[in-house]
Amino acid sequence: MKKRIGAVVAVIVVVGLGFAGWLVLGRDPMSFAGNATVALEDYRDATVTGAPAQLAGAELVKRGEYLTHAADCQACHTVPGGTPFAGGFAINMPFGTLYSTNITPDKETGIGTYTDAQFLAAVHQGIRADGDYLYPAMPYTSYTYMTDADALAIKAYLFTLAPVHAPAKPNQLSWPFSQRRLLAAWTAMFNPDERFRPNIGQSPQWNRGAYLAEAMGHCGECHTPRNLAYALDNRSKFAGALTAGWRAYNITGDKESGIGDWNDEDIYLYLSTGHASGHGGAAGPMGEATDDSLSYLVPDDVHALVSYLRSIPAHASDLPRTVTTPAPPSHKEGMPVADADARGEKIFAGACASCHDWTGVSPVTGFATLTGVRAVNDPSAANVAQTVVHGVNRTTAGGRIFMPAFGAGYSDDDIAAVANYVTARFGAKGAHLTAKDVADLRAQAAQPHKEAPDG
């Protein structure tokens, strides 16, 4: 009997370890490029970490400010419309809601008492000053690749901010996810806790791009699907995922579902301005990533990101190729009868057509053109629905980009109908959202903040 129990236990342990090992296989975000890597101090080809050459002579705080933008700390550590870096941003997950924390140098509620070693432990290992683990919503499995010097430059910059007294909001997580101690096991499995290792088989530009994308910009945290343990599964690196109710699209080289058909200039413009003609504009979290982070990068760094993105292996996902021809100018043409949602058409006529046109090509601004936009060619219509609910309200170097938020004025039924209509008329395949789907999407993106003026 004892033997039999022992055998069962042994099988469970072996299967468990095997499963854990399988999960961990997708851990390394740069393994696709081969393992010809060297320690940073042994890499002599170029400087691929730190602030760019333009800021080489600048003081520490100035370099730290650039790197803080590059790492996009602000997007999550700020409530939209609130004081930057004071925390409180809600991260909604299937098992509850986490709130980001205050990283201004307030001694009581911020990070004002953090030593350099404590700051590095948080950034690289996900361990906060009191020794507890941070939830991996803080992307320390990406930031772990950041050099000590860069992390401390960011700290130096953050410590020049005005301290804000903003106590952390209590997280609302269900058991067992509310048990921080369990994160020790998670972290041991999924955080490599190692610094960036340049790849000598790749160009210096590629290595700079890899550092910016992985250690700083943490693109994969939204664009890479997660495994059952909610860690990034880099076997489908950058193949797209739903994060906080918005779909982060496939940015691999796949021609149908990814960005294989984009030229370098399109990718460069999209990253640096949040818009590329014929591909539409960034909204939601990618709009924030552009406005808080990517738009601050010097051109060489954006080109490096393009070079890195170009090297990501194509990974087909379930998205159709985007339709690049405009719809006909008459509302009576161009729609398959099965998709002609009368309610959606009525809403589109009253609220949307004046800017987006019945063709989808906006007479107002290229930012409002729907033709060729990935979100419109996504049969889940998640981002179309979110954009209708939240609107767009971006401030860019090129001026303000604005679409009213219709979330308060229109019901979930209305928003589902218009999203279904828009994807059918201008995209590859019509969506079939229901009011409940829209309610779910709203809940996932819910933030304690003011939206753009109601439409």
Partner 1 sequence: MLSLTINGQSHQIDLPEDMPLLWVLRDHLNLVGTKYGCGIAQCGVCTVHVGGKPVRSCQLTIGGVGTRAVVTIEAIGQTPNGAKVQQAWMEAAVPQCGYCQAGQIMSATALLNFNPHPDDSDIDAAMAGNLCRCGTYIRIRQAIKNAAAKTA
Candidate list 353, 428, 435, 439; residue touching partner 1; CB under 8 A: 353
Residue with Cβ nearer partner 1 (46 or 349): 349
Write the CA distances from 149 to 47, 63, 446, integer angstroms: 13, 10, 36
Cβ neighbours of residue 426 under 8 Å, at least 6 residues apart? 323, 327, 360, 370, 371, 373, 376
Among 343, 346, 429, 442, binds partner 1 (CB under 8 A): 346
Phi, psi at residue 439, to the nearest 5°? -60, -40
Q: Is 408 in the site for partner 1 (CB under 8 A)?
A: no
User: With binding defined as CB under 8 A, does residue 278 bind partner 1?
Assistant: no
Between 165 and 450, name the residue whose CB sits nearer to partner 1.
450
Which range in 124-132, 167-175, 199-207, 357-365 contacts partner 1 by CB under 8 A? Answer: 357-365
Residue in 87, 404, 427, 430 binding partner 1, rule: CB under 8 A: 404
Q: Which is nearer to partner 1, 225 or 344 (CB)?
A: 344
What is d(CA 38, CA 171) in angstroms, rounded to the nearest whole number?
40
Of 12-20, 24-32, 353-361, 433-441, the segment contacting partner 1 by CB under 8 A is 353-361
Report how many helices (DSSP H) and strands (DSSP E) the chain contains, helices first: 17, 9
- Is the Cβ of residue 307 or residue 393 nearer to partner 1 in the bound state? 393
Residue 350 interacting with partner 1 (CB under 8 A): yes
With CA atoms as reference, report the closest residue to 126 among 202, 72, 191.
Answer: 191
How far apart are alpha carbons 6 and 404 in whole angstroms?
64
Residue 343 interacts with partner 1 (CB under 8 A): yes or no: no
Closest approach of partner 1 to the CB of residue 126, in Å:
43
Q: Which two tokens stand for residue 402?
A: 């604005």
3-class secondary structure, 247:
strand
Taking the complex as a whole, the smallest distance from the CB of residue 349 to partner 1 amounts, in Å, to 4
Binding-site member from 349, 408, 443, 446 for partner 1 (CB under 8 A): 349
- Name residues contacting partner 1, limited to 300-339 (CB under 8 A): 329-332
Q: Which is nearer to partner 1, 320 or 398 (CB)?
A: 398
14 versus 364: smaller Cβ distance to partner 1? 364
User: 96, 204, 313, 455: which one contacts partner 1 (CB under 8 A)?
Assistant: 455
Contact between 400 and partner 1 by CB under 8 A: the answer reads yes
Q: Whole-angstrom Cα distance, residue 153 to residue 149? A: 6
| Interface stretch with partner 1, choices 260-268, 318-326, 341-349, 416-424 (CB under 8 A) | 341-349
Q: Does 453 bind partner 1 (CB under 8 A)?
A: yes
Looking at the Cβ atoms of 105 and 281, the one nearer to partner 1 is 281
Structure tokens at 74: 């602000």
Q: Does 277 bind partner 1 (CB under 8 A)?
A: no
Decide whether 200 or 353 has the Cβ nearer to partner 1: 353
Shortest CA distance to 444 belongs to which of 92, 97, 75, 80?
Answer: 92
The least CB distance from residue 348 to partner 1, in Å, is: 9
Stretch that binds partner 1, among 26-34, 382-390, 396-404, 419-427 (CB under 8 A): 396-404
Give the DSSP letter string of 136-192.
TTS-HHHHTTS-HHHHHHHHHHHTTSPP---PPPPPEE-TTTT-GGGHHHHHHHH--
Rounded to a whole number of angstroms, the minimum distance from the CB of residue 55 to partner 1 is 29
Does 411 help bind partner 1 (rule: CB under 8 A)?
Answer: no
Please identify which residue in 365, 432, 447, 451 interacts with partner 1, judged by CB under 8 A.
Answer: 365
CB of 23 to partner 1, least distance (A): 48
Question: 6 or 278: whose CB is closer to partner 1?
Answer: 278
DSSP string, 393-447: EEEETTEEEEE-B-TTTS-HHHHHHHHHHHHHHHSSS-----HHHHHHHHHHH--
CA 289 to chain CA centroid, Å, is 7
> Using the 8-state DSSP alphabet, how is residue 216 labeled?
I
CA atoms of 437 and 417, how far apart (whole Å): 11
Residue of 302, 351, 376, 392 interacting with partner 1 (CB under 8 A): 351
Please state, in angstroms and rounded to a whole number, the distance separating the CA atoms of residues 133 and 226. 20
Q: Tell whether residue 355 is a contact of partner 1 (CB under 8 A).
A: yes
Residues in contact with 348: Cβ distance below 8 Å, sequence separation at least 6, in sequence order? 356, 418, 421, 422, 425
Angle at 121 between CA 118 and CA 123, to 5 degrees: 110
Which residues contact partner 1 by CB under 8 A?
329-332, 345-346, 349-351, 353-355, 357-358, 363-365, 398-400, 402, 404, 453, 455
